[in-house]
Amino acid sequence: MQEELKQIIEKGRRIVFFGGAGVSTESGLPDFRSEQGLYQAKQEYGYSPEEMLSHSFFMKNQELFFKYYKENLIWQEALPNDAHLALARLEQEGKLRAVVTQNIDGLHQMAGSRTVLELHGSVQRNYCMECGQFYDLDYILAKEHCEGCIPRCKKCGGVVKPDVVLYEEALSDTVLKESIRMIAEADVLIVGGTSLVVYPAAGLIDYFNGDRLVLINKQPTARDNRADLVLHDSIGKVLAFS
């Protein structure tokens, strides 16, 4: 199976990788959508992750939003794993055109990937909702910039919001269109670490009209029957030998 993947990658000229939470969990980041994540959130905070990470909850209860966000979605000690590193290497070799990701941790860039389309934004970017001033992650984590858990702009005092797409918010039209273009133009699409159930992102593979579709995920997905190659294994383990 891995030998077949190697051959697909060798023949590919316009490869695109589309990844989900499974790519990040192999770097030690928890999946807040898992049963454990759901249970822990309700026990500790009284709400589900989907509720606390919604636009309406953010607008009404910013203190609890930021408490949950900082304690559960930011993992500064996390490092790129074999999957991130393999994808960065493929880009450097001129094989991989882009990484399209549902993750918000910035680990692809840390590994060296340059063309990364972040469908759900990034914890590394934050902006003032009043004046638009951008801040890095360190800024919003520093207590001297916060009122309780809520980060404030040093220029105008406005709330500094993470540049991530919350539930009830639309994906960036620019990022979405570029992701569709990259996938539509790809001759090989490698999908990894995603169960393909979170829409609209999961629907992106419908734009693929290339030669070979590869699915790598520990659990079966609803699209396995459409793929040319399916590998039910660790994304890092599979790509490390690609």
Alpha-carbon torsion (166, 31, 76, 217), positive or negative:
negative
Would you say how long the chain is, in residues? 242
CA–CA gap between residue 193 and residue 44 (Å, rounded): 27
CA–CA gap between residue 225 and residue 220 (Å, rounded): 10
Residue 212 one-letter amino acid: R
**Catalytic pick from 84, 108, 120, 145?**
120
State the greatest distance between any 2 C-alpha atoms of the chain, in Å, as a whole number: 57
b/e map 86-102, b = 16+ CB within 10 Å: bbbbbbeeebbbbbbbb
Let me know if 232 is a catalytic residue: no
CA–CA gap between residue 5 and residue 213 (Å, rounded): 10
Please, what is the Cα angle at 171 between 61 and 84, to 5 degrees?
A: 100
Residues tagged active-site? 120
